[in-house]
Structure 1
Amino acid sequence: MTLPATPLDTWLKLGVIQTSLDPGAAWVTSTKMSASEEERAIAEIRGYFAAFRQEQQPPDIILLPELAVPTGFEKTLRAMANGLESVVIAGLDYRNGVLPGHVHNEALLIVPKRWRGKAMGSHTVTRRIGKTYPAPQENNQLKLIGCHFQPDPSVWLFDGDEIGTFGVMVCYDFLDLERIAMYRGKVQHLFILALNKDATSFRHVAEAVSRMVFCNVVICNCGHFGGSLAVSPYRLSERREIYHHAGPKLATGQIIELPVATLDQHQRGRTPLKDKVPEYKSLPPGYDLSVVLLDQLAKLN
């Protein structure tokens, strides 16, 4: 892992929004969410952004679940990101592909014109992060309404400057072992936008990935199923689960803090101590070798 260009901050301030959209009512006969679910989604998103605006310092990044944002709301969401000066990573409603009947499932990353008190550019920057693998049930539901899932086979890695490096995945891609391995030694954070019934299984995967990739893992799940959480590889078990919101059919917004600088130090083998003992778990087998190889590749480039 190459040294960061600028010193890392102590914490990343993260806003996690669970909207209560009902997937059973949202996509009945088409790939566009129903009018009632769209109206509810927009009202909840506006409400939580308004709540975040009351903070003296807004979140550095705001997450919204998979398929949570109506496509017609994208322009407004960009304006809201600029208003808060927060990066927004949000799951969009299905987008039509080039071929008839083909659809994309994507997240949208929005970088505002100003972020963390600094000018980022003359205009808002957006990136679309496509989902590679549909969940079996998602694939079946799309086929029932005559649609074909269009995969986007990309792995995304973002440099967040002082708040660390992060990866973004959409739901079922989180179970792709090769993808997870690609992030090892490269990130401080993994963000997963989900619409997942089996929140318990994803929680177990998040805990395992947090140890194996050795980073913070955040799952922002649809509130209809619940189970959004954030975990970090702290040594003390009571510190590892930073956030967990359980229970179905619940909309919620929460601001949490994720460790950055101390985690980065530990990843590099400079173990920070708290009360004279290591603050984090031991690095997983082979992690040191991964870091050395990445540093050598960076020098070659």
Structure 2
Amino acid sequence: MNSKLFVLVLVLVFLPYLAFSKDIPSTIEKSTKVFAKKDTSNLKMDIYKLKSQSNVVQPCMIFVFGGGFITGKRDSKQYNDYFTVLAEKGITVVSIDYRLGLRGIKKAPSVTNTEPMYHAVDVAVEDLFSATKYLLDNAKALNIDTELIMISGSSAGAITVLQSDYVKRNALSGSEVLPADFQYSGVLAFAGAIASKEGTPNYKVAPAPTLFFHGDKDILVPYASKRFFRKGLFGSKSLAKKFKKKGYSYCFFTVEGLSHEIAESPMVIYHNQIISFIDEYIFDKKPWQMEVKLNDASLKPGPVMTTKNLYK
């Protein structure tokens, strides 16, 4: 699939949610910083905060956009509602660039061609860690509470945030750029997975409280898993099963009958559930485990996206 056709597919899937997108209100200020230089790119972050709280120390949500690791923008209008809700909650929102590791690939990732996907995920995690380090180093000037830095992402961004918490909790290669005693305080993943070479991921240190949203018909980012022996992508269902067995804190919304549109819809129509998760699981540290099967008649299935028709 060429790039123009790929963008058309994305528009068809996410058009219902784009229609509800609004501009950031004038009560919220936005600033842009360069947080790293990688390869030939200046990686930037947009910081959103209520003007009335510009000098107030706040929790922080780092957001990683979606787009299959081949497209997407940190300031896409479709995320404005989500950023506004978080900022009005008293959370500093930081939306970041990252290098798109699958742009221009010649062969689609698959269970027998995994290295391009692993590379793209590793690069994105590296860039998220660089953004996190920038925020930690500049927390005083930016009025960020370093004990409450959360990460959230959509699709490829959801893979990135789940992978980042997994890498940090296991002290894997790349995590050493961040302080040893630092951990993310929460993970919010909309249609995400972890790329593992060791089977279903295990954690040496309990993961951050995690919110999973996933459509049970998603095959682009698998709802359960897509694996070849021990290597593969392990989606929300397989991760939630592990979390439940180990007693980790999590909330898992399965949206029945839908596929990859759930990468976007929670940020438009499930604000109450997101804010409730942040309040209960992250701020109040309640050790809850919750699984919800949601059949939402207001949502209609969009075109099915697969790796074969996206990465051509």
TM-score (norm 2): 0.38
Which structure has more RCO (C-alpha within 8 Å, separation ≥ 6)? 1
Largest Rg, 1 or 2: 1
TM-score (norm 1): 0.39
